[in-house]
Structure 1
Amino acid sequence: MSDLHALDTYFSEKRETHLEELKEFLRIPSISALSDHKSDMLNAANWLADSMKKAGLENISIDETKGHPVVYADWLHAEGKPTMLIYGHYDVQPVDPLHLWESEPFDPQVRNNKLYARGASDDKGQVYMHVKAIEALFATEGELPVNVKFCIEGEEEIGSPNLPAYVEDNKEKLAADIIVISDTGMQGPGQPAVCYGLRGLCGVQIDVKGAKGDLHSGLYGGGVQNAIHALVNLLDSFRDEEGSITVEGFYENVRPVTDEEREAYRALGFDEEALKEEIGVGELFGEKGYSHLERTWVRPTLEVNGVFGGFSGEGIKTVLPAEAGAKITCRLVPDQDPEEIVEKLKSHIEKHKPVGVEVTVTEFDKGKPFITPFDHPAIQAAGRSYEKVYNVPTAYTRGGGSIPIVAAFDEILGLPVVLMGFGLSSENFHAPNEHFHLENFDKGLRVIGDYFHEIAEFPAGGLKKS
């Protein structure tokens, strides 16, 4: 078993050093979506590789892909013990709109025991915690209780387009007993949670084209289709007034919510009134017959993410817009296939296409949903490690978001995936003023260190997916 006292002493003594190192990592603007930051991506990969070497890891490599590289490292000297594959990402989201940041996004600042910077919570801070936990175990025990491998990519924020091929080509190199990912959140402040499922994702852009150019509304208004009106009618056809999706066949493969899951979610005591106050809305809205947690964890969605077209400058321009468009994403649940859902969306769009316009559909990111039974031994072991440090029961939750590569790991490597995150939903990841609560940074280091010992209680090969 782990010596939490020794880990606590080590992390307490090294806290300021570790924070300064993390700030170095966060200063690198590793924005994978923007080509101008290609050199920054390589700088971040090199920084991470150096940090891994200093921690005591071996066989470190920066592996090329068709896009940004993957950082690999391992330590494989725990004979007869399980091997843990740790996944994360060193790329970050763009920072727009910049004027809403209270401090520069790549100039890390600590305010009220929160570390503000792009990537602080998603996912540099959480990746770095695993490296430092390993460093602490080497320093306090001289070795690791389990075998470890790292696979840290640079393209998660753009949908991991090249990682499935990398995993497929390196199945033997990445072979393990479990996959551990810290890129999810806790249930709330002081409320740890192990996430055992994620929704999948698919997205499309709809472009509506009417006349060959914008038309004068006085000369043509009422006689020619307005591209924005056509788009609005089309978008309105996707959902009914009670939040149900009206695309034919959309729900046909959805796995029902079990009574056991519903009871587990009710037991969490989720405060919908507090949520309304936090996000600033008078009422919550969603599919009839389901609670907020069920709507956001175990039910699929269809959301309009953006609409564009026509004149939006100051004043009025009296035209009939010739073009309009919208971006749509669907969050998918187990047994839904993103390729099939996109085809259903296309069929729906063709069926409901307004007269007088042409409509084209462009496909975007796709990711399959994922689930590991929450009674799996590796999941329960994570819960025990949280409880030792936080001194409260661990919640077992499903996440409403998507990490597309998780399903690929599940399919290609066939391993149980443990999602043990330390972020909070209020930390503005993907938005201005992203931050990481340092209370969870401090406690998370200790949780991870203990988890290595929890997994060491199982023999190699003893954690197969059920």
Structure 2
Amino acid sequence: MTDHLPAVLDRIDADLDKSLERLFAFIRIPSISTDPAYKDDCRKAAEWMAAELRELGFDAQARSTTGHPMVVGHHAKAVQGPHVLFYGHYDVQPVDPLELWKTPPFEPTLVAAPNGDTWIVARGASDDKGALMTFIEACRAWKAVTGELPLRVSILLEGEEESGSPSLKPFLEANRDELSLDLALVCDTDMWDNDTPAVTTMLRGLVGEEVEITCADRDLHSGMFGSAARNPIHLLTEALASLRDSQGRITLPGFYDGVQELPAAVKDQWNRLPFDEAGFLGQVGLSIPAGEKGRSVLEQIWARPTCEVNGIVGGYTGEGFKTVIPSKASAKVSFRLVAGQDPAKIREAFRAHIRERIPADCSVTFKEHGGSPALSLPLDGPFLKPTLDALTEEWGCEAALAGTGGSIPIVGDFKRLLGMDSLMVGFARFDNRVHSPNEKYDLSSFHHGIRSWARILAALARQG
């Protein structure tokens, strides 16, 4: 079956215009999951995808949930290789502010790019409709050439990724036996750079906390009560400042328990990547790395835990000036975690750190804003090297092993609930403006993405 790969790649090239037509039809469905006004459109997008999968020979349905439907399809006729579960999401972000769009957000437009490429401009072009359609079109090409897929493929597409995925975990738990397969494939990630493909193997976890400190029972005149009355802004900022030391390390007791050093092979590969530290910070007007001393910028944003203050509120912040000692002050704080750290322990350590710094006549409250552990995928698994080789062959340069500073909760759910590792392969560029006006997906990402998945399917089939 895998001997047919050259013919499959030729078919992808010949059918690119038709693949674009199907992507455009998909994009035109305004499947905004966060807005109840688009509930019917989310259902329409799910039904559209289920119909496309049935056309390709999948046993596929749009299954109802308490929220938007899940699309599930199975094509399990092949007998060789692993049985893989491909995951993507058909919902998209709202388009506001509409006036900043140069073209209608749900009317996909081809725009000439400065580098000679072509941009597909529309909401969902990159996140995640263009990305998931690269896999669907790869399957289509295999079916057109051989009548089958080279290995067993199941597909799970959700419609709530952009609104917190409230139905996803219950759905996975209820369908555990059906969806617990050999390997998950996830497309919602990026290239290393414009020319270098990547497999993402490290995801950071997250702890979000909101803290509010209360001192006096009302705002006070700073002339009458200054110095005598406790100022909650002082308490808050002193406590927050003490979370990091002069070397950039987080000071919470036990914070680094379980944190491992980066494997030497991975560190060597990262050092070979064409990453411009000065340029990375320079593009946002900065020049001095602010994290742990002695760590590269890539280590800091991919492989090391962080503590960041995301917002502070306290006192008078309106126009003019008001000499007030506020009654309350609050902050929102987030921790990005790496493999080995326990979100619950980090949350409790943070709360204990703050409580220890609150005088007896003042009080503090906390509000939880989510939490998930980090995930580090095995580098010695049987599926990673074939995937890297397939990407290297398609793009003509060594595929990178990448980390990401963000979190993809579904990957953790696949591991914890279904017992599956994931391969995270995506073809988005960092300038795709996802979640923003004028979102775009490079035509080269779409074209080479389809060809890449065709190669990856063949490579995984040979692992049988």
Q: Deviations over 1:270-289 (max 9, x none)?
A: 22123233333223321112
2-side partners of 1:313 and 1:97: how far apart? 25
Provide the C-alpha distance between the structure 1 equivalents of 2:31 and 2:149, rounded to a whole number of angstroms: 30
Q: Deviations over 1:23-44 (max 9, x none)?
A: 3333444343444443443233
Equivalenced residues, count: 458
Matches within 5 A, 1:33-432: 33-54=34-55, 56-96=56-96, 100-111=100-111, 112=113, 113-353=118-358, 357-432=362-437
Displacement of 1:432 after TM fit? 4.0
- Corresponding residue number in structure 2 for 1:440: 445
3-state DSSP class of the match of 1:173? helix
Which piece of structure 1 moves more, 372-381 or 126-135? 372-381
Contact 1:230/1:357, CA 8 A, preserved across alignment? no
Task: Give 1:120 deviation, angstroms.
Answer: 2.3
More displaced 10-residue stretch of structure 1: 28-37 or 380-389 = 28-37
Amino-acid identity (%): 39
Change in Cα spacing, 1:128 to 1:311, as seen in structure 2 (3 Å) is farther
CA 356–101 in structure 1, closer or farther in 2 if over 3 Å, else same: farther
Q: 1:133 to 1:305 in 2, by over 3 A?
A: same
Cα deviation 1:341-366 (Å, max 9, x = unaligned): 21222212212336764321111222
Query: Which residue in 1 is equivalent to 2:21?
Result: 20
The alignment partner of 1:279 has SS state of coil
Aligned partners of 1:129 and 1:441 also within 8 Å: yes
In 2: Cα distance, 1:88 partner to 1:260 partner:
30
Q: Normalising to structure 1: TM-score of the pair? A: 0.90
Moved more, 310-319 or 449-458: 310-319
Query: What is the distance in 2 between the residues matched to 1:296 and 1:312?
Result: 32
Q: Summarize deviations over 1:360-380 as a string: whole Å, max 9, x none.
A: 111122222222222322111
Which consecutive unaligned segments of at least 5 residues does structure 1 have?
Answer: 460-466
- Aligned to 1:157, the other structure's residue is in SS state helix
Q: How far does residue 386 in structure 1 lie from its aligned partner after superposition?
A: 0.9
Deviations 1:32-90 (A, max 9, x none): 34444434432332232233233x14221222333333211111100244211001222
Is the Cα contact below 8 Å between 1:159 and 1:365 reproduced in 2? no
Q: Which moved more, 1:230-239 or 1:147-156?
A: 230-239
Query: How big is the alpha-carbon RMSD for the aligned residues of Structure 1 and Structure 2?
Result: 2.5
After superposition, the Cα gap between the structure-2 partners of 1:101 and 1:362, relative to the gap in structure 1 and judged at 3 Å, is farther
- Encode CA deviations 1:124-158: one digit per residue, 9 max, x unaligned: 22112111111121112211111110111223334
Cα gap change, 1:336 to 1:36, in 2 (>3 Å): farther
TM normalised by structure 2 equals 0.90
Letter in 1 for 2:430: S
Q: Determine the C-alpha separation between the residues in 1 that align with 2:378 and 2:153.
A: 23
Q: Equivalents in 1 of 2:214, 2:36: separation in Å? A: 30
Structure 2, unaligned stretches of length 5 or more? none
Shift of 1:439: 1.0
Matched residue type, 2:48: W
Range with bigger deviation, 340-349 or 268-277: 268-277
How has the CA–CA distance of structure 1 residues 75 and 42 changed in structure 2, closer, same or farther, with 3 Å as cutoff? Answer: same
Give the Å deviation of 1:191: 0.5
Q: More deviation in 307-316 or 184-193?
A: 307-316
**Is 96-105 or 41-50 further displaced after alignment?**
96-105
Distance 1:397 1:430 in 2: 22
The residue type paired with residue 259 of structure 1 is A
Query: How far 1:246 sits from its partner (Å)?
Result: 1.3
The answer to whether 1:32 aligns with 2:37 is no
Q: Report the CA distance between 1:416 and its aligned residue.
A: 2.7
- Secondary structure of the residue aligned to 2:306 is coil
Change beyond 3 A, Cα 1:242–1:307: same
